[in-house]
Structure 1
Amino acid sequence: MSSFDTDVPVLLLRLGPGSPDRSTLDAVRSLGRAGIEVHAAVASARGPVNRSRYLHRRYALPAGPMECAPLLDLLRDISEGLGRPAVLLPMDDRGAIAAARLAGPLLGRYLLPAQPAGLPERLADKAELALLCREMDLPHPSTVLPTGAQRAADAADELGLPLVAKWSRPWLLPASTGLRSTTLVRTRDDARRLYELSERAGSPLLLQRRLTGGPDTERVFHGCFARDGVLLTGGSDRTRRARPLPTGLLALGRRPPHPQVEQAALRLAGHLGHHGILALDFRRDVRGRFHLLGLHTHPGAWFRLVTDPSSGLDVVRALHLDLTGRTEPLTRSAPGRQFPAGAPALPSGPATALAGHPGAERRGAPPTIRCRSSP
């Protein structure tokens, strides 16, 4: 395995409010244990990330909605303090979108993957994802973008109840609305009322056929791709337990290989000409096909499942090697690896108890990032 260029630090960027999630902590530990100096620009001073011995320094983000100009000023100030170029590693959709928009002004200060303009924003948009899956003939749940409240109610009949409602651009959800990015809709009136909140949500509403659950239903792919589209490291893993049930964050994951999921991920990355990290969420239907539900250009909360046991290479280490000119060959993590991930795991119980859980907790959304396309 190539040695890391430890003269090049990493700045983790997470623009969501609250304590940083599991992926941020795992990135700090993984890079820090490799001897790389790790910095983090995050909203909260709480949580284990800020207490990690591998974190060199934390930078506070300004309170409230994050405009492009203040963020650019902050990143420039951090760069001046570092005194040398650093890898900029976004840890959520808001950070990935902002970093892509500011890539030009940050040139020479930060190392970023070479991506098509606007790609992180396009991939995080649920409506754009549905169009992309149709374009590539990838399995995706039947989806309706209603044009009115009555159309939303009619779509509930077409898709079948209960169905899944999503906001197209969840990063635009104002925290004051209390709206969740994904909601289980049980009645026609629920679909109608949710559509009427579209203006407050800041993006269109999608109604989607619900894929029934069962054993081996959830799969996630994590990968890091070189500039030429070659997979540096990656693979799939499976959700074993989630909190809150049944639609919450992964609490326990397992690492069995899955050719169908991995081939779909490789095909998608090649089609997009993607450079950098990809995290893809899949769900299986009753016919055994895995549908693509989510796509992100930052590390997922359980990316450490996909780690090569002999070299310790994961997606964040692979990205640092690639951006510093020390590209690694393809590696695969060992099947069967299991560990707690994005949320505390619940005690095991009867399957009937899990299936009967009332659903996810209500939670507020992070503040919006107001950026023009040309900052």
Structure 2
Amino acid sequence: MPFEADPDVPGLVVKFGDYPLHHGGVGAIRSLGRAGVPMYAVTEDPYTPAAASRYLRRAFVWPTSGTEDAGRLVEGLLRIARRIGRPAVLVPTDEEAAVLIAEHRGALAGPFLFPPVEPGLPRRLASKQGLHELCVEHGVPSPAAAFPGSYDEIAAFAETARFPVVVKNREAFVRRSRPAVHGTTRVATRAGLLSLARDWGERPGVILQEYLPREQAEDWIVHAYFDRDSTPLALFTGVKVRSWPPHAGMTANAYVVDNPELADLAARFVKQIGFTGIADLDLRFDRRDGRYKLLDFNPRVGAQFRLFESEAGVDVVRAMHLDLTGRRVPEGEQRAGHRYVVENIDLPAWLAYRRSGYTTPHAPARASGTELAWLAGDDPMPFLTMLARFVRPGARHLYQLWRTSRRGGGPSGTGA
């Protein structure tokens, strides 16, 4: 490996909520563990794929819902810090963890190492409304959007809107409590929108967004790590080939594709807003006007980050650890043409995309190499644990998502 990580500074993968089949956390454990970094992780129970990794020194079993009082979560992290016994680099894999770390950095600094991001910025970036406002402020293209405050405002919007429209929860955190919609949802008609809206209460927490038709669009992703001056020390671009549910949600298959225009757009936006740390961006290229439109800015590690690695062996998690421990992040080109596959969801996604006839023009005809989300020859247990936990409930969940995608409207959008 052409760089040397500091073996005296461990890493702690942090997430809140009950979703044990998370390949991004497994990827972070393997990435730093292979570089000689002692790894720890917060897990729901002792039998998650992350807890089974040979590169994990210890799993801190801590069941959470993601809706706990912030003070309780901070105290829980500090208890873990005392058990580790030395400062550790925090690796957040969900918005709840990223926001908590930023907003309580005074209490967490010292026991932990993390980028000095402005405390209120991750929450604003995780919010659909906050991100849209930042895009407008800095001249970054994004889909047209409305943020209704009542049912009457939704009805007024429906009178003039061009359907279909996309409905999303305004704030990322409501997915843990009472979401208005389950994931990104495409609504085909005015009547359909008004019918859905009747269940949203007096203060609907939704964003109504312009629909970018998949026949005229391409889904792109950017993963990067930015230092305290918002300078990219690692920045990668790729194209999403398939996701699950189809054309929505989690990446199932993606390729590394060089895109200097997209890299420049992301770097300029991050510099303008002053973000520091790991970022996972989803953008949709609209062929109708030739612009990349920013859909999501995840201020944390993206689940598919292991797609991206430089010729120097650096990914965004390694870049962060090197930077926070005072070591130089070596430069290197990204591995163009490399492919990423999430085994448990790519097969149903492939079947759905084959049925629809949709293809991604920028996907290479042949991969230069493949990174699997779960299966690794040097660390097989996470894959086997995933299979054991996935087969029955996972098959039922995939079937439910398939039925949702086939109903009128169905989901649409992007996600991590």
Change (3 A) 1:178 1:335: same
Deviations 1:89-119 (A, max 9, x none): 1111111011112211112100010111211
Residues 256/174 of structure 1: CA separation in 2 closer, same or farther (3 Å cut): closer
Are 1:101 and 2:103 an aligned pair?
A: yes
Rounded to whole Å, the distance in 1 between the matches of 2:204 and 2:322 is 37
Task: Select 1:150's aligned residue among 149, 152, 166.
Answer: 152
**120-129 or 76-85: bigger deviation:** 76-85
Separation (CA, whole Å) in 2 of partners of 1:6 and 1:350: 44
Post-superposition Cα deviations, 1:3-27, rounded to whole Å, max 9, x if no partner, equal 1111000111011312141211111
Answer yes or no: is the 8 Å Cα contact 1:97–1:120 preserved in 2: yes
Distance apart, 1:257 and its partner CA = 1.1
Other-structure match for 1:272? 273
Alpha-carbon distance in 1 for matches of 2:140, 2:179: 33
Match of 1:6? Answer: 7
Distance in 2 (alpha carbons) for counterparts of 1:298 and 1:275: 10
Deviation larger for 141-150 or 48-57: 141-150
1:14–1:20 contact (8 Å) kept in structure 2: no
Deviates most, 324-333 or 312-321: 324-333
Tell me, yes or no, if the aligned pair for 2:102 and 2:118 is still in contact at 8 Å.
Answer: no
Unaligned runs of 5+ in 1: 363-375
- Counterpart among 111, 114, 117 of residue 113 in structure 2: 111
CA distance in 1: counterparts of 2:176 and 2:204, whole angstroms? 11
Report the TM-score, using the length of structure 2 for normalisation: 0.80
More deviation in 315-324 or 100-109? 100-109
CA drift of 1:194 comes to: 3.6
Name which of structure 1's ranges 148-157 and 259-268 shifts more when overlaid on structure 2: 148-157
Distance, in Å, in 2 between the alignment partners of 1:248 and 1:106 is 32
Matched, 1:24 2:41: no
Deviation at 1:85, TM superposition (A): 0.5
- Secondary structure at the aligned position of 1:319 is classed as helix
Q: What residue is the counterpart of 2:377 in the other structure?
A: none
Q: Could you give the per-residue CA deviations for residues 247-269 of structure 1, whole angstroms, max 9, x where no partner exists?
A: 13111010111122211100111
Q: Within 1, Cα distance between the matches of 2:336 and 2:109?
A: 39
Q: Distance in 2 between matches of 1:301 and 1:237?
A: 14
**Cα distance, 1:321 vs. partner?**
0.3
2:150 touches 2:204 (CA, 8 Å); kept in 1?
A: no
Unaligned runs of 5+ in 2: 359-401, 408-416
Which one-letter code corresponds to 1:233 in the other structure? Answer: A
**8 Å CA contact 2:257, 2:337 repeated in 1:** yes
Secondary structure of the residue that 2:50 maps to in structure 1?
A: helix
CA-based RMSD: 2.5
Contact 1:243 1:343 in 2 (8 A): no
Indicate the residue corresponding to 2:261 in structure 1: 260
Q: Which residue of the partner structure matches residue 135 of structure 1?
A: 137
Greater Cα offset, 169-178 or 8-17? 169-178
Deviation of the 1:125 alpha carbon: 0.5
CA distance in 1, matches of 2:216, 2:254: 13
Q: Report the 3-state secondary structure (helix = DSSP H, G, I; strand = E; otherwise coil) of the residue aligned with 1:331.
A: coil
Give the CA deviation at 1:163.
Answer: 0.9
Letter in 2 for 1:38: M
CA contact (8 A) 1:14 1:43 kept: no
Cα gap change, 1:339 to 1:63, in 2 (>3 Å) = closer
Q: CA offsets per residue over residues 47-66 of structure 1, 9 Å max, x none? A: 32111111111112244432
Following TM superposition, by how much is the alpha carbon of 1:343 offset from its aligned partner in structure 2, in angstroms?
A: 5.3
Percent identity (aligned): 32
Higher helix content, 1 or 2:
2
> Residues 31-46 of structure 1 correspond to what in structure 2 (within 5 A)?
31-46=32-47
Matched, 1:306 2:280: no
Q: Distance in 2 between matches of 1:161 and 1:199?
A: 23
Letter in 2 for 1:238: V
C-alpha distance after superposition, 1:147-205 (max 9, x if no partner): 322321332353321110011113123446684132111222332344444459x8721
Q: Secondary structure at the match of 1:344?
A: helix
Residue 334 (structure 1) aligns with: 335
Q: Does structure 2 conserve the Cα–Cα contact (< 8 Å) formed by 1:87 and 1:111?
A: yes
Partner of 2:291: 289
Of residues 122, 125, 133, the one that matches 2:124 is 122
- Superposed, 1:108-257 pairs within 5 Å as 108-175=110-177, 179-199=181-201, 204-214=205-215, 217-257=218-258
* Segment drifting more, 224-233 vs 328-337: 328-337
Q: Which amino acid aligns with 1:209?
A: E
**TM-score, structure 1 as length reference:** 0.88
Q: Secondary structure at the match of 1:66?
A: coil
**Contact 1:23/1:302 (8 A) holds in 2:** yes
Matching of residues 45-124 of structure 1 within 5 Å:
45-64=46-65, 65-124=67-126
Q: Are the structure 2 counterparts of residues 56 and 191 from structure 1 closer, same or farther at C-alpha, using a change threshold of 3 Å? A: same
Note if contact 2:219-2:285 (Cα within 8 Å) is conserved in structure 1. yes
> Per the alignment, do residues 50 and 221 of structure 1 end up closer, same or farther by CA in structure 2, a change over 3 Å counting?
same
